[in-house]
Chains A and B, each alone.
Chain A
Amino acid sequence: MFYREAGDFKTSYRADSQTFPIRLDRMGYIAALVVAYAVVPFFIDDYWANAVFVPFLIYAIAAIGLNILVGFAGQVSLGTGGFMAVGAYAVYKLMTGFPEVPFFFHVILAGGVTAFVGVLFGLPSLRIKGFYLAVATLAAQFFLVWLFNKVPWFYNYSASGQITAPDRTMFGIYITGAQTSAVAKYLFCLVILTLVALMARNLTRGTVGRKWMAIRDMDIAAEIIGVNPLSAKVTAFAVSSFFIGIAGALLFSVYLGAAEVGESFGINKSFLVLFMVIIGGLGSIFGSFAGAAFLVLLPVFLKNVLVGALGWPTDVAAHLELMIVGALIVIFLIVEPHGLAQLWRIAKEKLRLWPFPH
């Protein structure tokens, strides 16, 4: 009744193939943008920014990046943590090496460096597939972490091997460092996430995205109809690593402020982002948001309820939290293997017919 397309006429191809062809969807999208840009910044405080919003935005970027590789191009990767580390160390070297360049460009450049590294590690995907490729990217994960631990140049020879983000401003407002306000952190990540999501959406529905999906669905058939596997796979690795690198750069510089490669970008991070993509829904931009929201917000929410509201001991709560999140992942995968995005799609289908399903 409320959610339908009847009466929503399109008079051009452009209008017909837009991202949100149904008016209600479009309004929902605009409303979400308005809330994110014009409402949240007035209410956000340090806790909400640092515990909820900033990690959610950053992990959403990483999940979009990984989703392009795994969900759209069908190349399994376990190297996300390593690629995020490349982004983080690249932005650190750029920030300390060229302090006069605006920080925004450092983040983009860090993405570029990661894209280059991603392509290097993506080259084996031309010869190996599936589980074997997963193992090759796993090697990238361990190699990159080892490299950043081993070579002191990457952490500017600091005694502890930690990298610490120096203070950087844009238009006179702190973006990194301890003096950054919650609003600045939030808005900076939000702008980048918006750009990344728009770019990802437009790439995936254009020629490039169709090539990726053709390779994913059946690579030999794709090759026969004229898709070049080299360019398709390499671009998938490049774009995916670009986004993941940006996420790593933001995670280190804006969110954490200081990082240590083994702890912040270990194998756990690779699995976390992969879970986000799988739970959210492979091959869906919305799924990346949903998956990131699920895995970032749920633990914080559970902790606040169990320790804060119920007053349970912290260790019991922490163990329960692991059990609940783990159980929910299993339940989700059994009930809806295509993830939260598919649930959302089904809900929309049902809504279109509601209240007269027959």
Chain B
Amino acid sequence: MKKSFAALAAAALATTAAPAFADLTVPNLSYRTGSYAANGIPYADGFADYFTLLNERDGGIGGEMVAVPECETAYNTEKGVECYESTKGMDALAYNPLSTGITYQLIPKVTADNHVLYTPGYGRTSAANGSVFEWVFNYPANYWDGASVAVKYLLNENGGDLAGKKIALVYHNSAYGKEPIRTLEELAKKHGFELKLLPVDPPGQEQKSQWLQIRRDKPDYVLMWGWGVMNQVAIQEAVNIRFPMENFIGVWWSGSENDVGPAGDKAMGYKSISFHGVGDDFPIYADLKEYVFDPGKAAGAGDNLGNVLYSRGMYAAMIISEAIRTAQEIAGHASVTPTEVRDGFENLNLTQERLTELGLPGFAQEIQASCADHGGPGSAMILQWDSSTKKWSAVSDWIESDAEILDPLIAEDSAAFAAESGITPRCN
């Protein structure tokens, strides 16, 4: 019985592995099932649609078509490993698993196998230090930037003084949710606010006790590091205890239309951080409509156009395609290898002019990567939800993160990783 399984599986594998070789391959490790599907689907759609647009409109990147084989991880690390192993043989140019747990597993693997891991706004924060993490990139911003930006925004709101204020952090009790704690603790020391930690066990459908605690302690502000169903439940619970929405700020993964939707009108005023613009009024959407949506080539159900997570998936795809383009310029040929794409990521220079050319004027910040800097500018803005128009709008300009606090933390954490895995820092 086992034999026949193996034979059949081998036959199935042989048929899958064949097609993708001639193209540039960027696997899409997505999740469209499980408790995180509501957030995984729009992201995966945006990611796939952007590459479809490049293929349909420009004939790929530099004349090479891009293949985006999709692999379902269900946000599960074991399936993530399986997906990585099944796609790495196709000369995969970059991985973007959209899961901090899977990222932690892939960091040593991509380093040994020489593949790029691109984790915009998630993953291991200290990967911003390129001298230790040669194959990992997380620009434009990471969790610690997010925490710092949120605190800076609150400082501005309070005339530069947070002393004596109480800030609660409601977080997904996992590697992802724990990332900002260290930074927030440092910031609490620096600015004299009191930090309260409220872990929510994944997937986070049950948060009554945490919000009861918030009702009792009456913190001035609540920050949230949530994902999937946890976001919707938290916003609903905040509504239930009548917590003022404008004092409730989610990180970029806790601020999509799907998250505020279930609370209806009561979610009015909820804020979230973002490192890119949202909405479908960028010029690129005309092209997307013409080449992707109207011919029926959109990924998934095609109903996520322009929402926050769709834009973010598109952002990741845009950066990866720009890195591939840079790699092609450096290498002087179009069919680049994973190693050449790594150089492309490291020499990426994304300017506002280039963004305008791409049909995304003002969509994101400029990035100038370097050997040591894999973390980007680290600035972000605050969006606010308007439930009457069902739109997010920016309520702040780009806010820079507090490098004075973050740089030593990143240096410390990456030095620990370098010592653990015997890496000698590069870039000197």
Q: Which of B19-45 contact A (CB under 8 A)?
A: 30, 32-33, 37, 41
Indicate if the CB atoms of A256 and B5 lie closer than 8 Å: no
Indicate if the CB atoms of A257 and B108 lie closer than 8 Å: yes
CA distance A307 to B32 in the complex (A): 14
Indicate if the CB atoms of B33 and A256 lie closer than 8 Å: no
User: If the complex has contacts A159-B413, A160-B104, A164-B420, are A178 and B86 also in contact, measured as CB distance less than 8 A?
Assistant: no
B118 to chain A: closest CB distance in Å? 18
B37 to chain A: closest CB distance in Å? 8
Hey, which chain A residues are within 8 Å of B266, CB to CB?
none
User: If the complex has contacts A160-B100, A160-B104, A160-B124, are A55 and B78 also in contact, measured as CB distance less than 8 A?
Assistant: yes
A265 to chain B: closest CB distance in Å? 11
Q: Which of A161-201 contact B (CB under 8 A)?
A: 161-162, 164, 166-167, 177-179
Hey, which chain B residues are within 8 Å of A307, CB to CB?
16, 71-72
Hey, which chain A residues are within 8 Å of B108, CB to CB?
164, 177-178, 257-258
Partner among B12, B30, B77, B113 whose Cβ is within 8 Å of the Cβ of A263: B77
Kindly supply a per-residue 1/0 record for chain A positions 283-316, scoring 1 wherever the CB is within 8 Å of any chain B CB and 0 otherwise: 0000000000100010011011101110001110
User: If the complex has contacts A309-B15, A314-B72, are A50 and B178 also in contact, measured as CB distance less than 8 A?
Assistant: no
User: If the complex has contacts A47-B85, A262-B201, A314-B32, are A166 and B78 also in contact, measured as CB distance less than 8 A?
Assistant: no
A8 to chain B: closest CB distance in Å? 25
Indicate if the CB atoms of A51 and B16 lie closer than 8 Å: no
Nearest to A180 among chain B residues (CB) is B112
Indicate if the CB atoms of B12 and A304 lie closer than 8 Å: yes
CA distance A160 to B125 in the complex (A): 10
A282 to chain B: closest CB distance in Å? 20
Interface size on B, residues (CB 8 A): 56
Indicate if the CB atoms of A317 and B15 lie closer than 8 Å: no
Hey, which chain A residues are within 8 Å of B173, CB to CB?
149, 262
CA distance A255 to B81 in the complex (A): 9
Q: Which of A53-90 contact B (CB under 8 A)?
A: 55
B10 to chain A: closest CB distance in Å? 9
Kindly supply a per-residue 1/0 record for chain B positions 169-193, scoring 1 wherever the CB is within 8 Å of any chain A CB and 0 otherwise: 0000111101101100000000000
Q: Which of B57-72 contact A (CB under 8 A)?
A: 70-72
B43 to chain A: closest CB distance in Å? 13
User: If the complex has contacts A258-B104, A305-B12, A317-B72, are A46 and B175 also in contact, measured as CB distance less than 8 A?
Assistant: no
Indicate if the CB atoms of A315 and B89 lie closer than 8 Å: no
Indicate if the CB atoms of B5 and A166 lie closer than 8 Å: no
User: If the complex has contacts A160-B179, A161-B174, A304-B12, are A262 and B71 also in contact, measured as CB distance less than 8 A?
Assistant: no
Hey, which chain A residues are within 8 Å of B15, CB to CB?
308-309
Partner among B13, B88, B179, B422 whose Cβ is within 8 Å of the Cβ of A304: B13
Nearest to B19 among chain A residues (CB) is A311
Indicate if the CB atoms of A256 and B78 lie closer than 8 Å: yes
Kindly supply a per-residue 1/0 record for chain B positions 393-428, scoring 1 wherever the CB is within 8 Å of any chain A CB and 0 otherwise: 000000000000000000001001000111000000
B421 to chain A: closest CB distance in Å? 7
Indicate if the CB atoms of B421 and A167 lie closer than 8 Å: yes
Hey, which chain A residues are within 8 Å of B109, CB to CB?
178, 257
Residue among B178, B179, B182 with the highest chain A CB neighbour number at 10 A: B178
Hey, which chain B residues are within 8 Å of A179, CB to CB?
112
The DSSP consensus for interface residues of chain A is helix
Indicate if the CB atoms of A257 and B105 lie closer than 8 Å: yes
User: If the complex has contacts A162-B175, A304-B16, A308-B15, are A315 and B112 also in contact, measured as CB distance less than 8 A?
Assistant: no
Indicate if the CB atoms of B85 and A309 lie closer than 8 Å: no
Q: B8 on the interface (CB 8 Å rule)?
A: yes
Indicate if the CB atoms of A164 and B182 lie closer than 8 Å: no
Indicate if the CB atoms of A161 and B175 lie closer than 8 Å: yes
Partner among A51, A256, A303, A315 whose Cβ is within 8 Å of the Cβ of B77: A256
Q: A114 on the interface (CB 8 Å rule)?
A: no
Hey, which chain B residues are within 8 Å of A305, CB to CB?
8-9, 12
Hey, which chain B residues are within 8 Å of A110, CB to CB?
none
Indicate if the CB atoms of A308 and B88 lie closer than 8 Å: no
CA distance A256 to B106 in the complex (A): 9
Residue among A158, A179, A258 with the highest chain B CB neighbour number at 10 A: A258
Hey, which chain A residues are within 8 Å of B37, CB to CB?
315
Hey, which chain A residues are within 8 Å of B32, CB to CB?
313-315, 318
Indicate if the CB atoms of B101 and A263 lie closer than 8 Å: yes
A323 to chain B: closest CB distance in Å? 11
CA distance A257 to B103 in the complex (A): 11
Q: B202 on the interface (CB 8 Å rule)?
A: yes
Q: A14 on the interface (CB 8 Å rule)?
A: no
Indicate if the CB atoms of A263 and B174 lie closer than 8 Å: yes
Indicate if the CB atoms of A166 and B72 lie closer than 8 Å: no
B25 to chain A: closest CB distance in Å? 15
Hey, which chain B residues are within 8 Å of A293, CB to CB?
2, 5
Kindly supply a per-residue 1/0 record for chain B positions 106-140, scoring 1 wherever the CB is within 8 Å of any chain A CB and 0 otherwise: 01110111000000000011000000000000000
Indicate if the CB atoms of A47 and B174 lie closer than 8 Å: no
Hey, which chain B residues are within 8 Å of A161, CB to CB?
174-175, 178
Indicate if the CB atoms of A160 and B175 lie closer than 8 Å: yes
Q: A133 on the interface (CB 8 Å rule)?
A: no
User: If the complex has contacts A47-B89, A159-B182, A318-B74, are A309 and B105 also in contact, measured as CB distance less than 8 A?
Assistant: no
User: If the complex has contacts A164-B420, A178-B112, are A51 and B85 also in contact, measured as CB distance less than 8 A?
Assistant: yes
Partner among A46, A158, A300, A309 whose Cβ is within 8 Å of the Cβ of B88: A46
Q: Which of A146-163 contact B (CB under 8 A)?
A: 149, 158-162
Indicate if the CB atoms of A167 and B100 lie closer than 8 Å: no
CA distance A73 to B91 in the complex (A): 50
A155 to chain B: closest CB distance in Å? 10
Q: B217 on the interface (CB 8 Å rule)?
A: no
CA distance A163 to B85 in the complex (A): 21
User: If the complex has contacts A50-B85, A319-B33, are A309 and B77 also in contact, measured as CB distance less than 8 A?
Assistant: no
CA distance A210 to B272 in the complex (A): 62
Indicate if the CB atoms of A256 and B88 lie closer than 8 Å: no
Nearest to B110 among chain A residues (CB) is A178
Kindly supply a per-residue 1/0 record for chain B positions 200-216, scoring 1 wherever the CB is within 8 Å of any chain A CB and 0 otherwise: 01100000000000000
Q: A213 on the interface (CB 8 Å rule)?
A: no
User: If the complex has contacts A308-B15, A314-B32, A318-B74, are A166 and B421 also in contact, measured as CB distance less than 8 A?
Assistant: yes
B80 to chain A: closest CB distance in Å? 10
Nearest to A45 among chain B residues (CB) is B89
CA distance A159 to B72 in the complex (A): 28
Hey, which chain B residues are within 8 Å of A301, CB to CB?
5, 8-9, 12
Indicate if the CB atoms of A159 and B178 lie closer than 8 Å: yes
Indicate if the CB atoms of A162 and B104 lie closer than 8 Å: yes
A331 to chain B: closest CB distance in Å? 16
CA distance A256 to B33 in the complex (A): 22
B281 to chain A: closest CB distance in Å? 29
* 12 residue pairs bridging A and B, Cβ less than 8 Å apart: A46-B89, A149-B199, A159-B178, A159-B182, A160-B178, A260-B104, A300-B82, A303-B72, A305-B9, A307-B16, A309-B15, A315-B300
Q: 3 nearest interchain CB pairs? A: A308-B16, A315-B32, A178-B112
What would 13 more interface pairs be, CB under 8 Å, given A260-B175, A318-B32? A46-B88, A50-B81, A50-B85, A164-B104, A177-B108, A178-B109, A257-B108, A258-B108, A262-B202, A293-B2, A293-B5, A309-B12, A318-B74
